[in-house]
Structure 1
Amino acid sequence: MVDGALRAFQDDPSLHLLLVGPPEAADAILAAVDPAEHARLVRLAVPATHPEDQDQDQAGAGVRAAVRAVAQGQADAAVSAGNTIDIVLSAARILGRWPGVRRFALTAALPTAAGRLVLLDVGSSVDTDPDTLVMHARLGAAYAAVVHEVAEPRVGLLTIGTEKGKGDRLRRALPPLLETAELPAGARYVGLIEGNDVVSGEPADVVVTDGFTGNILLKGLETAYSRLGLPGAGALEVPRAALLLGVGGTVVVCHGAASGPDLAAGIALAAHLHRRAAVAAMVEMIPHNEVSHDG
């Protein structure tokens, strides 16, 4: 964590960091930075028990404090390599959901032979349903349009073959819904997508799947690319960070096994998304304009 925060801080002179977590980690970061730059670093103490967290365990106290800082305007984005469940639940409770979004989608941008591809969900919603994946198709199309500046994004459904009727019950039910769904930014559904298509990037700009298969695919690609090389000339590294789409704020989730460079990339992604007002732009593309809250 310390190495990643330092890398991000040094790479971006306009970046300010709100340090949430173990005091010794904050001390190490402050000690490694020129005192003249300390104004760009703020330490946030994690309360032993926040009034709103009386019924919560303390393991995710740092995550909740970081998300609450976004809700209260102390921070523009939250980046965490903590437990994904803690992050998702904290975001839902504190920041709320976009209207119509029942389940968030962890959204990764992958390098392909053709450029970049949006893959979602990669771990937020393991058990899902057709309506959720239709909404995730909308979220992914909005991400491709706003963040990757893709005109009329092509949306595909990940399954085990391109022939009609391929896949489990969920995948068989989805094509008619996606064919008639209203997708943002002029996006269109282009059909069934296989795993090899995710590497080529040719058939689609956005690939939708459930969080179970998406997480397996993402981790498999990470390992393959790290050992065999990346597709395409000059392709970027596979990010070990994903945006939590559908939440009322910018929340980036890094893998628990993320390295220093991985965490730095996650922080850089969060800063980039904030500076482009990406979340607000995506909300405008999805029906309704108010953020609903849990509880």
Structure 2
Amino acid sequence: MVDGALRACSADPDLHLLLAGPRDVADEVIGALPVTDRERVGVSVIDAAIGMADSPLRNIRRSTSVRAAAEAVYTGRADAMVSAGSSGAAVAASAHVLGRMRGVRRPGLAAQLPTPHGPVLLIDVGVTLDATMLELVQHAVLGTAYASVGLGIARPRVGLLSIGSEPGKGDRLRRAVSIALSDIPLPAGGRYVGLVEGFDVPRGGPADVVVTDGFTGNVLLKGLEGAMAVARPAFAPAQRSVAAGGSPDGAAPAGPDGHARHEAAAVLLGVAGDVVVCHGSAAGAEIADGIALAARLHRDRITPAVAALADDLLTELSSAGGLTIRDALGERS
């Protein structure tokens, strides 16, 4: 985290970062820098304990680093929050301290994935492990709004992850959500395009936003990360042979280290604040990317724009008495 903070400040001199964690650890790393580097970085420390081993609920009740970070945003001391610790604690603290957008049942983590056909937003990738029909529909609404204002996609296409793309594929929950998404007007001119399969996510094409529950989304995301880690050495020789700024056909653009770039940070949609959650194994460069993303959320006022686009529909869905699988499928009790 300290390495990522220093990298982010070097890349963006207008940043000032508050590190929430054990002061002695941060001071030791910062103190090891040359004096000239120490003077130019805008970093200060909020002394707090780290509670990775605790439950998310216990973490938000104690003075842990994730609660300290959320409170800094709530009080206006900070404009956005970035966490690479326990994602459950980060989500719980954000929802508890910052509050949720009006009508939102549960927030959703949205990861932007690069594909040959443009970015694909995958939501949820780790919050709603046992998602309900209402939560999946609300995540489709949030993802559509974010794809419009955050990714600049006109009339985002929304797909629902399932085991096949033919109508009626999947379990009862997926079939019911598919019917519900076909019947509601999505924000920003978004349109539901139907079911998509797992290989459609990294390949891109059918949908700009792919909706799924947090359990399946997290498994898929980590599976893609593992596949990239295995494939990366095979791509490295080809990447070195490509002129600067280019990329091998079908491969993601290479970063400065010669590796294929991918998003290691997810935006927490549905909370009343700017929150980014990084992968627990993120390196310094990836932490810096997450910080840059959080800064962009604040500077471009993306979260308020998402709330404005999604507010009416989220509230209507929440106050309609809830969506039920039985009603969507036309089943009798």
TM-score using structure 2 length: 0.80
1:134 aligns with: 137
List per-residue Cα deviations over 1:175-210 (Å, max 9, x = no partner): 110011121110000011001111221001000000
72 and 140 in structure 1: CA distance in 2 versus 1, 3 angstrom threshold: same
1:45 aligns with: 47
1:163 to 153, 157, 166: 166
2:181 aligns with: 178
Structure 2: how far apart are the matches of 1:241 and 1:47?
23
Q: Does structure 2 conserve the Cα–Cα contact (< 8 Å) formed by 1:2 and 1:25?
A: no
Counterpart AA for 2:81: A
Q: SS of 2:281's equivalent?
A: coil
2:240 aligns with: none
2:3 aligns with: 3
Structure 1: how far apart are the matches of 2:58 and 2:180?
38
109 and 47 in structure 1: CA distance in 2 versus 1, 3 angstrom threshold: closer
Alpha-carbon distance, 1:232 to partner: 4.1
Mapping for residues 1-295 of structure 1, pairs under 5 Å: 1-31=1-31, 32=33, 34-38=37-41, 40-46=42-48, 56-57=58-59, 61-229=64-232, 231-232=250-251, 234=253, 237-288=261-312
Alpha-carbon distance, 1:105 to partner: 0.3
Count of matched residue pairs: 284
Counterpart AA for 1:124: V
Structure 2: how far apart are the matches of 1:193 and 1:103?
23
Structure 1: how far apart are the matches of 2:263 and 2:11?
17
Q: Does structure 2 conserve the Cα–Cα contact (< 8 Å) formed by 1:99 and 1:289?
A: no
Structure 2: how far apart are the matches of 1:222 and 1:46?
31
Alpha-carbon distance, 1:150 to partner: 0.4
Q: SS of 1:195's equivalent?
A: coil
2:246 aligns with: none
Q: Structure 2 stretches of 5 or more lacking a match?
A: 51-56, 236-249, 255-259, 316-333
Q: SS of 1:222's equivalent?
A: helix
Counterpart AA for 2:297: L
Counterpart AA for 2:7: R
Cα root mean square deviation, aligned = 2.3
Q: Does structure 2 conserve the Cα–Cα contact (< 8 Å) formed by 1:157 and 1:192?
A: yes
Structure 2: how far apart are the matches of 1:289 and 1:25?
46
Q: Structure 1 stretches of 5 or more lacking a match?
A: 49-54
Structure 2: how far apart are the matches of 1:8 and 1:29?
15
Structure 2: how far apart are the matches of 1:90 and 1:56?
10
Structure 1: how far apart are the matches of 2:205 and 2:253?
17
Identical-residue share of aligned pairs (%): 51
Q: Does structure 1 conserve the Cα–Cα contact (< 8 Å) formed by 2:115 and 2:252?
A: no
Structure 1: how far apart are the matches of 2:252 and 2:85?
33
Counterpart AA for 2:47: A
Flag the structure with more relative contact order, 1 or 2, with Cα contacts below 8 A and sequence separation at least 6.
1
Structure 1: how far apart are the matches of 2:147 and 2:251?
19
Structure 1 ranges of 4+ moved more than 3 A: 55-60, 229-233, 288-291
Alpha-carbon distance, 1:133 to partner: 0.7
Alpha-carbon distance, 1:60 to partner: 6.7
Q: SS of 2:114's equivalent?
A: strand
Of 122-131 and 259-268, the range deviating more from structure 2: 259-268
Structure 2: how far apart are the matches of 1:59 and 1:222?
33
Structure with bigger gyration radius: 2
Alpha-carbon distance, 1:118 to partner: 0.4
